[in-house]
C-alpha cells in the first residue's frame, strides 16, 4: 500500500498508474476494468468510437468494476478538406488498396462528432474524462466540473501544461517524446514539442501547481520510480498495456512490440495526418517523402481506415498502424494486474535500495 | 557521503556525477579541476585541441587538483572531401562571411590528428579517457588498458553499448535524445538513435554488464535520482555545467541557456556536419533545408569555424553554435561545487521522501 498523493486521492485509486486511453480498439472494457480493479486507473480510448459505442463500452466497464475509470477523447473539430488534398492523398493510397483488393471509397465522415461523444460522457456520468489533441471549449469543461468529473489534459510542453491549468483541469499528463501513438501537441509546432520525458517532467512540474502525470517510455517500476523522482505524482503507460492479456491490440501488433527495440519506432503522419510514434513499416517508409503533402488529422486518418482494417485482417504488419513507444525491449506478457503489481513492486524495491545506498550517514 | 557503486569505485570519485567533456573551449582546466575537487569527475573536452594544447591543459588541471579527471576525444578519421562538396558548402556560408567581414579561406586541416591527440593522453598518463563518435582502434584501447587508464565510451543505442562492452570499455555513457551537443551515434542511422533518456537507460542497463552512466536532460537532483532509478550508476551533465562560474562557455551562450526553455533546441548538422543539439538560431534555420547536402563531420565543422569565431567575437548568438540539451529551464548559476552539492543533496532528499511515501507498510 502506498501513501496517497494528490493523483491517487483525486482519482480515488490505490496506485498512481494510469493505463493510457489508446483509440482504435486496443482498450476494450475488459482491459479498462482489469486495470481499475488492480488499483490503477483504466481508460477507455474512445476517440474513434461512435457515441453509442462509447455508451455501450462504459456500461460494460461498469458491469465489470465499481472502481473509477476514465474515458479518453481526441478533441477534434469538424473539418471540410479541399477535394484536391483528399484526391492527392487517395492517389498515394490507391496502390495499397489494389494490393489488398479494395476499392477506393470516399469516407462518409472523417471523424465521430466530438460534441456527441462528450454528451454521452455526461449522460453516463463518467468519473474521469481525459483528453488530448487540444482543450475542449470552456462550456464543456464547466459542465464537467459541475458534475464532479475529474479532468485530465495532455501537454507536450510547459506552455501547454500552463494552458491546461488555466483551463481548470485537475491533472496534467506530461507526454514526453518517447511516447507511442499520437503526439498531444496543440500549441505550437509539433517538432519543437519533442521533449524527452526525463527533461519534460521536472520542467512542467516546476511551472504548474496542478499534479503532473508522466508519460512516454515508462514500462516498468524503474520508469515509475524515475517519474516520481522527476516530480510527477503518477505515470501513464500505453505500450506496456498493449501486450497484456486483456488488451485489444492486434496479435501482430503485440508480436511487433514484444520483438521490438528502442530503435524500432518513428514519428509519422502517414496514417492519420497527425504526428504519432509507431513501429516502422512499409507504408510509413513509402510515404515518408510525402509527409508534408498529406492532409491533416482527421482527414488522413479517415482515408487510411480501409487500408488499416484490411491489413489487420490479412495480418500484414507492413500496412497496419503499429503505435508504440521507445521502451519496447521492456515489454512483457501477463495480465493487466500482473503488470501493475510488477511496476509498483519494482518501484518500491528500486527506491528502497537507492535510499539505502545514498544515505549511509543519515 | 554516498555508498560507493561500481562507477564511483572505478573512477575513484565520491559522487557519481560526471561533467561532460564538451569540446570548443567550454571546459577549461578551472572547470575540470573544480568538478573533480568537488567529488565528481571533471572532463577536459579536448576534441578540438591540438596535441600540445591538450598537454598544456592536462598539466594545468594537475596543478589544480590531485583528484582523478577525464579527457574526452572525438574519434575521428582523416578525411579527404571532394572539392565539389566543399565548394557547395562554402557557397552557402559565404553570405555570413560577407556579413561578418570575413574572407573565405580553405581550412589548412579539417581536424586535429586523433592519433597525435591520443599519444599525448598516453604520454601524460591521463587517468580516464572518454570518447564519442566511434570506438578507437583496438591497438589503442589495448595500450590504455595496459596503462590502467579507465575507458568510457558513448552509446546512443543498445547495440552501440554492446559494441563498446565488447571492445572492453569500463563504463558506458547512455546518451539520450535530450542531450545537448553532438550525438554520439556511430552504428546505424542517427535518426533511429534518438531515444529519450528515460527509455534508453533501462534498456541499455538490461543488455550490458558494464556500468551505465545516464546522459541527456539531467540537470538537477531529480534527474540524478531518476537516472539511478532507471538502472544507471552515474550521470553525465553537460548543459548544467555550462552556466557554472568556471565554465568556458561564451557569456552569450550562457545567457541563451539561462533564458531557454524545453522548446528552444533542435538537432542540426549545420555547424559541424554531424547531428548535434543546440539552441535554434538563424544559421540553423537558414541551412535547415540544405542539411542533406552539407559535408560530413569534420569537414563542415572546419568550414564554419571562422564564422563561429567571428560571431562569438561580435557576441552574435544567431551565428554561433549554442549547444544545449532540453532541460534549459533547470539551468542555474553558481560554482561547479555548488552544482554538485545541490544535485547530490536534491537526489538524496527526493529518494528519502519517495521511499517514505511508497513503503508505508514496510
Please, what is the end-to-end C-alpha distance for chain A in angstroms? 25
Q: Does B87 touch chain A (CB under 8 A)?
A: no
> B356: number of CA atoms within 13 Å, CB side?
7
Within a domain: A255: no
Is residue A343 in a domain?
A: yes
pLDDT at position A178, please?
Answer: 98
Domain count, chain A: 2
Q: Flag whether B362 is in a domain.
A: no
Q: Are residues B70 and B204 in the same domain?
A: yes
Closest by CA position to B153, among listed B48, B207, B72, B33: B72
* Chain A: residue whose CA lies nearest to B227: A226
Contact A200 B350 (CB under 8 A): no
Measured CA to CA, the distance from residue A29 to residue A25 in angstroms comes to 10
Residue A173 counted as domain residue? yes
For chain B, say whether A231 makes contact (Cβ under 8 Å).
yes
Q: Does A174 touch chain B (CB under 8 A)?
A: no
Same domain, B254 and B224: yes
In this predicted model, what pLDDT tens digit does every residue of A94-134 receive, in sequence order? 999 999 999 999 998 899 999 999 999 999 999 999 999 99
CB atoms < 10 A from the CB of A306, how many?
A: 18
Q: What residues of A are in contact with residue B202 (Cβ under 8 Å)?
A: 219-220, 222-223, 327, 330
Q: Do B358 and A350 touch (CB under 8 A)?
A: no
d(CA B197, CA A199): 9
Would you state the pLDDT for residue A362? 37
Specify whether A148 is located in the same domain as A285.
no
Chains A & B: contacts with CB separation below 8 Å: 204
- Tell me the three cell numbers of residue B166: 565488447
Q: Same domain, yes or no, for A46 and A129?
A: yes
- Chain A, residues 177-216, CB within 8 A of chain B, namely 177-178, 188, 191-200, 202-203, 206-207, 216
Buried b (16+ CB within 10 A) or exposed e, B323-357: bbbbbbbbbeeebbbebbbebbebbbebbbebbee
- B305-351: per-residue pLDDT in tens? 999 999 999 999 999 999 999 999 999 999 999 999 999 999 999 99
Distances (CA, A) of A251 to A246, A317, A322, B331, B333: 12, 10, 11, 45, 52
Q: Which residue is closest to A15 within chain B, CA to CA?
A: B358
Q: Give ipTM to 2 decimals.
A: 0.97
- A143's enclosing H/E stretch is helix A138-147
pLDDT at position B362 over 50: no
Residue A289, CA distances (Å) to A38, A92, A293 in order? 44, 11, 9
The domain in which residue B99 lies consists of 80-110+266-323
Query: B189 in helix, strand or coil?
Result: coil
Of A188, A228, A358, the CB nearest to B2: A358
pLDDT at position A1: 58
Name the grid cell of B62: 594537475
Strand (E) or helix (H) holding B131: strand B128-132
Distance CA A219, CA B356 (A): 23
Distance from CA of A112 to the nearest CA of B (A): 32
Distance from C-alpha of B202 to C-alpha of B193, rounded to nearest angstrom = 15
Same domain, A105 and A130: no
Domain check: are B101 and B136 in the same one? no
Q: Are residues B94 and B167 in the same domain?
A: no
Give the angle subtended at the CA of B258 by the CAs of B253 and B262, to the nearest 5°.
105
Is residue B198 within 8 Å of A178, Cβ to Cβ? yes
Residue-wise pLDDT tens digits, B285-294: 999 999 999 9
pLDDT value for B361: 44
Instruction: Identify the closest residue of chain B to A223 by CA–CA distance.
Output: B230
pLDDT 10s digits, B24-34: 999 999 999 99
- Does B174 lie at the interface with A, CB-CB under 8 angstroms? no
Same structural domain for residues A213 and A141? Answer: yes
pLDDT, chain B, mean:
96
C-alpha B104/C-alpha B94 separation (Å) is 7
Place of cell 549554442: B322
Q: Is the dihedral of CA B119, B121, B122, B124 positive or negative?
A: positive
State yes or no: pLDDT of B184 exceeds 60.
yes
pLDDT tens, per residue, chain A with 362 residues: 588 999 999 999 999 999 999 999 999 999 999 999 999 999 999 999 999 999 999 999 999 999 999 999 999 988 889 999 999 999 999 999 999 999 999 998 899 999 999 999 999 999 999 999 999 999 999 999 999 999 999 999 999 999 999 999 999 999 999 999 999 999 999 999 999 999 999 999 999 999 999 999 999 999 999 999 999 999 999 999 999 999 999 999 999 999 999 999 999 999 999 999 999 999 999 999 999 999 999 999 999 999 999 999 999 999 999 999 999 999 999 999 999 999 999 999 999 999 888 865 43
Instruction: Look at residue B269 in the predicted model and tell me its pLDDT.
Output: 98
**B200 and B301, same domain (yes or no):** no
| Count of CB atoms situated within 10 Å of the CB of B101 | 8
Per DSSP, the three-state class of B308 is helix
Q: Is residue A298 domain-resident?
A: yes
Closest residue on chain A to B232 (Cα) = A222
Residue B93 has pLDDT above 90, yes or no: yes
User: In a 10 Å sphere around its CB, with 0-12 CB exposed, 13-18 middle and 19+ buried, how is residue A362 labelled?
Assistant: exposed
Nearest CB partner across the interface for A196, out of B216, B231, B357: B216
Residue B192 carries which DSSP code?
Answer: G
Task: Kindly state whether residues B31 and B178 are assigned to the same domain.
Answer: yes
pLDDT at residue B276 above 50? yes
* Same-domain check for residues B197 and B292: no
Tell me the nearest-neighbour CA distance from A15 into chain B, angstroms. 10
What pLDDT score does B1 carry?
58
Q: What is the CATH number of the domain that holds B179?
A: 3.20.20.70
In this prediction, what percent of chain B has a pLDDT beyond 90?
94
Whether B1 is in a domain gets the answer no
Q: Which residues of A64-101 are buried (b: 16+ CB within 10 A; e: fewer)?
A: bbebbbbbbbbbbeeeebeeebbeebeebbeebbeebe
B226: contact with A, CB 8 A cutoff: yes
Q: Which of B165, B181, B46 is nearest to B117 (CA)?
A: B46
Instruction: Judge if B89 and B225 occupy the same domain.
Output: no
Between CA A292 and CA A233 the distance in angstroms is 37
Residues of A in contact with B16 (CB under 8 A): none
What is the rounded average pLDDT of the residues B52-74?
98
Q: Could you tell me which chain A residue has the CA closest to the CA of B329?
A: A203
Does residue B243 fall inside a structural domain?
A: yes
Residues 99-138 of B with CB under 8 A from A: none
Asked if the C-beta of B248 comes within 8 angstroms of chain A's C-beta atoms, the answer is no
Q: For the beta carbon of residue B78, count every other beta carbon within 10 angstroms.
A: 11
Half-sphere exposure of A34 (CA within 13 A, CB side): 19
Interface of B with A in 263-282 (CB under 8 A): 263, 266
Place of cell 502525470: A213
* Chain B contact for A350 (CB, 8 A cutoff): yes
Give bridge partners of residue A132 from the DSSP assignment. Answer: A74
Return the pLDDT at B355: 86
A260 in any annotated domain: no
Amino acid at each position: 500500500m502506498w501513501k496517497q498523493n494528490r493523483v491517487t486521492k483525486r482519482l480515488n485509486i490505490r496506485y498512481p498508474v494510469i493505463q493510457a486511453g489508446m483509440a482504435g480498439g486496443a482498450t476494450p472494457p475488459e482491459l479498462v476494468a482489469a486495470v481499475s480493479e488492480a488499483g490503477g486507473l483504466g481508460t477507455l480510448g474512445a476517440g474513434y468510437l461512435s457515441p453509442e459505442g462509447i455508451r455501450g463500452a462504459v456500461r460494460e466497464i461498469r458491469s465489470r468494476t465499481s472502481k473509477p475509470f476514465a474515458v479518453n477523447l481526441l478533441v477534434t473539430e469538424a473539418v471540410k478538406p479541399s477535394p484536391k488534398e483528399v484526391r492527392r492523398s487517395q492517389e498515394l493510397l490507391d496502390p495499397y488498396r489494389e494490393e489488398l483488393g479494395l476499392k477506393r471509397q470516399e469516407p462518409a465522415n472523417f471523424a465521430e462528432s466530438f460534441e456527441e461523444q462528450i454528451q454521452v460522457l455526461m449522460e453516463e456520468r463518467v468519473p474521469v474524462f481525459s483528453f488530448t489533441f487540444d482543450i475542449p471549449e470552456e462550456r464543456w469543461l464547466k459542465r464537467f466540473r459541475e458534475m464532479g468529473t475529474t479532468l485530465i489534459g495532455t501537454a507536450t510542453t510547459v506552455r501547454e501544461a500552463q494552458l491546461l491549468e488555466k483551463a481548470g483541469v485537475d491533472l496534467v499528463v506530461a507526454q514526453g517524446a518517447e511516447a507511442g501513438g499520437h503526439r498531444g501537441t496543440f500549441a505550437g509546432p509539433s517538432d519543437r514539442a519533442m521533449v524527452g520525458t526525463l527533461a519534460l517532467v521536472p520542467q512542467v512540474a516546476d511551472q504548474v501547481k496542478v499534479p503532473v502525470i508522466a508519460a512516454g517510455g515508462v514500462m516498468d517500476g524503474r520508469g515509475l520510480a524515475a517519474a516520481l523522482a522527476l516530480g510527477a505524482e503518477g505515470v501513464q503507460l500505453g505500450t506496456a498495456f498493449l501486450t497484456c492479456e486483456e488488451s485489444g491490440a492486434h496479435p501482430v501488433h503485440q508480436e511487433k512490440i514484444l520483438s521490438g527495440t528502442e530503435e524500432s519506432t518513428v514519428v509519422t503522419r502517414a496514417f492519420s495526418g497527425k504526428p504519432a510514434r509507431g513501429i516502422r513499416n512499409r507504408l510509413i517508409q513509402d510515404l515518408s517523402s510525402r509527409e508534408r503533402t498529406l492532409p491533416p488529422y482527421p482527414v488522413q486518418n479517415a482515408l487510411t481506415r480501409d487500408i488499416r482494417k484490411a491489413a489487420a485482417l490479412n495480418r500484414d504488419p507492413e500496412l497496419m498502424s503499429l503505435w508504440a513507444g521507445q521502451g519496447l525491449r521492456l515489454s512483457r506478457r501477463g495480465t493487466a494486474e500482473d503488470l501493475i503489481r510488477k511496476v509498483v513492486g519494482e518501484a518500491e524495491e528500486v527506491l528502497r535500495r537507492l535510499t539505502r545506498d545514498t544515505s549511509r550517514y543519515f
